[in-house]
Structure 1
């Protein structure tokens, strides 16, 4: 089973990179590729985790009969028999709350004749979606995979971060990369402040 992450963010943030790194740890470099990688500096980052391709999946017509797009708006659920044979395409998109349907807008709507499937109607993280799809490809049915719809990260006694997305449960705990947890607790506020300062200087 292969995965393609179609990069659809203007910049690869630390958060996005950590979800990608975790995806690489889940499925391995040989099973992961990235499309729509427009800049050399992002190719340098992503080539550690899988194959990088400049073109969008939309333009890679030779692959269209082999892929399945994972999209919460898809009408049909991903099933084990089709998952294990296909290459699954996931939007490399940071989640919005409420969801804006960007996978549909940027990918599914432009590939009308390509199969699209959901893994439930909830919005998963990139690495969470890859984990769930991998479990399905190994024979699990979607309803057999437990998940939680919202996660609270306690930063300190007075501050918590709410992640309003779905996360698969492994041994009763949400599947969140330990490096991402550390980033959310220690670094994200500094990164956000730097982005605000840069935007004010433009």
Structure 2
């Protein structure tokens, strides 16, 4: 009987420690989610030009002093924009109808005091530019025009949605486990895509070649 009570006390202590650890993990995760939620994708619109679907959007509240300090230290710094084409209602195992990633990579040259910004979509370099000021760098990294979604094909049975979010980098969860910090998804119906006449190139000055 004494041994049984002793074993019960040990089990209760272990359970209490586990609950405390879980509560701590949840609170830390909630704090991390709240931090990442400060940055967001805004002004998401869709354009169809010459039959090619393109997305325009802006990343707000992302380039803080910590990120700028990393860039100006000379380390290549990447923002990854993830686009998905999905049915409005989907199961967790549904991989979606299409996906694409746009990486915006910034590097600072301390000698020339210029920022090189490269754009890679799905692994291929599609554009590069050099800017001289912080303000121009912020625009180059966060204002995305004409992200091509040419691989997105809509099914005939539903009106799918396009979802976009940004991966801002990684942090250590609980100080141990590396995890990627994302913005929330921004969503727009594919049916809201605006058609642009291909015969009028001046109406859509492209920033991503």
Instruction: Tell me the TM-score range normalised by the shorter chain.
Output: under 0.3
**TM-score, structure 2 as length reference:** 0.21
**TM-score, structure 1 as length reference:** 0.21
Larger RCO (CA within 8 A; separation ≥ 6): 2
